[in-house]
């Protein structure tokens, strides 16, 4: 199945990763001269057993680029699925984490009113907030806590802002603030969220 967005009536935007895969697979026959089904048949005949070997075989034997080969292998291995961000959010805050939903909605509302540029692109376990690049993420880490991740580079942690260790590892999200109630979403949280937003057009 193609990694096709299902976005009708959604307040969310398509995650760039899904959009990229969808574009590759949608244009596969045009760009390579073969349909996706043909590529999968060739992979089956190749005898390659692992993801790494399959990607390498497509690159070596057929001259495909890394992105194209990776997309074909992801489909072949059944890793692609329909992008349904609203369903992701519903599942994320179902059951024991349902009480965190008002906190999530409030953080989302604050972030999206910073600028019309801001989009939310839910994944299965967290919701990235983007400008040009991701500047924050909302993650229900436990049944009682949301971690607001922030892309703040080498900013020195202070107050409730803590380091994730991400800067040293080259991760986009470098800091976070733990939030357990609506009262925790105070001026400090809003100030750091805006600071991260203002860096949202920077690569790091």
Cβ atoms 173, 94 nearer than 8 A? no
Report the distance separating Cα 141 and Cα 139, nearest Å.
6
Residue ranges of the domains in the chain? 16-76, 85-198
Q: Could you tell me what percent of the chain has a pLDDT over 90?
A: 76
Residue 84 pLDDT > 90: no
Residue 3 has pLDDT above 70, yes or no: no
At 179 the three-state DSSP class reads strand
pLDDT band at 5 (very low <50, low <70, confident <90, very high): low
Give the pLDDT score at 1. 42
| pLDDT tens digits, one per residue of 163-172 | 999 999 999 9
- State how far the Cα of 71 lies from the Cα of 21, in Å rounded to an integer: 6
């Amino acid at each position: 199945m193609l990694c096709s967005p299902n976005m009708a009536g959604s307040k969310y935007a398509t995650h760039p990763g899904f959009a990229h895969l969808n574009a590759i697979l949608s244009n596969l026959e045009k760009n390579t001269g073969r349909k996706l089904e043909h590529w999968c048949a060739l992979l089956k005949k190749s005898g390659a057993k692992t993801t790494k070997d399959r990607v390498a075989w497509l690159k070596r034997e057929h001259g495909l680029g890394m992105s194209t080969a990776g997309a074909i292998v992801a489909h072949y291995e059944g890793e692609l699925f329909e992008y349904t961000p609203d369903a992701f959010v519903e599942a994320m805050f179902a059951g024991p984490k349902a009480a965190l939903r008002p906190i999530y909605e409030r953080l989302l509302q604050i972030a999206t009113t910073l600028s019309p540029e801001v989009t939310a692109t839910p994944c299965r376990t967290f919701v990235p907030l983007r400008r040009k690049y991701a500047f924050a993420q909302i993650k229900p880490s436990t049944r009682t806590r949301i971690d607001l991740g922030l892309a703040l580079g080498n900013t020195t942690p202070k107050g409730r802002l803590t380091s994730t260790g991400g800067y040293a590892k080259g991760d986009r999200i470098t800091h976070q603030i733990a939030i357990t109630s609506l009262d925790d979403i105070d001026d400090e949280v809003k100030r750091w969220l805006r600071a991260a937003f203002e860096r949202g057009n920077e690569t790091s």
